Homo-oligomer: A and B are copies of this chain.
């Protein structure tokens, strides 16, 4: 038990916890042996941290397996519930779903991916690869393309530098193709996706924000054979995105600056 007396700085303990939790990003349940293999942490120290994470309910134990726990779920739900973009957009997402009947997404840009903050859907939505909290490469999705079209050039450069991984044969695969597409999106104020993330599925997205000041995007998705990607379908999506942006802007103006002077 040489590690039981090991002393580390507080942030080193935190880094180990992050390393342990990151090991669960993807596969689901893991045994202690698998966690040790994935993290490279000493077995006894990993075990002690895991047991403490179970007590804190950040993980839970099921037999000899560990999996992500309910406290993480509660804090994570709170993170999105308290998110200002999510709060501002939510009524417009429901209204858009009611008006069009399509699956509605709200997404933000994180690095070169989009992360879905919300998904309003019926049964069709269950078959889609998107999920709340999940990621997709930005250039393969309508929400991602809408975000990129209104982002600074440095953001687009980062996506190009990461390589344009293709999800389907229709995904954008070259820099000239991406630049042309982003130009089209700026012209029409909406992004179309014809099977670029998933074959047989089409989407229309609009950005929340203005050029070089975009904070998210809203889309509708449905079966390609039932969706005509034109300005008539883009209109309600643009209305929803504009409504969310207005709500967000007025909320930011109304927020008292008093809280900033407490510290």
Binding site for B on A (CB under 8 A): 6-18, 21, 24-25, 28-29, 31-34, 45, 48-49, 52-53, 56, 58, 63-65, 67-70, 72-83, 90-91, 94-95, 97-98, 108, 110, 115, 117, 122-123, 126, 131-135, 259-260, 262-263
Contact = CB atoms under 8 A, between A and B. Distances in A.
A65 B82 CA distance: 13
Pick the most buried of A18, A29, A79, A123: most chain B CB atoms within 10 A of its CB: A79
A65 B257 CA distance: 11
A76 B117 CA distance: 12
A8 to B, nearest CB: 6
A77 B134 contact: yes
Contact of A81 (B65, B70, B81, B131): B131
Q: Which of A29, A33, A63, A70 has the most CB of B within 10 A?
A: A70
Given A65-B260, A98-B123, A260-B65, A133 B14 contact: no
B53 A262 contact: no
A64 B13 contact: no
A245 to B, nearest CB: 18
Nearest to A79: B68
Identify which of A21, A95, A126 gathers the most chain B CB atoms within 10 Å of its CB: A21
A24 B259 contact: no
Given A10-B12, A11-B52, A263-B32, A74 B76 contact: yes
Closest 8 CB pairs of A and B: A76-B76, A13-B13, A77-B133, A68-B79, A31-B263, A7-B7, A10-B13, A73-B79
20 contacts: A7-B8, A8-B8, A10-B12, A10-B48, A10-B49, A11-B52, A13-B13, A14-B53, A15-B56, A18-B56, A68-B75, A73-B76, A73-B133, A74-B135, A81-B134, A91-B126, A94-B122, A94-B123, A94-B126, A98-B122
B58 A18 contact: yes
A72 to B, nearest CB: 5
Given A10-B45, A31-B259, A78-B133, 6 more contacts: A8-B8, A12-B13, A13-B16, A64-B263, A73-B133, A90-B126
A44 to B, nearest CB: 11
Contacts of A122: 94, 97-98
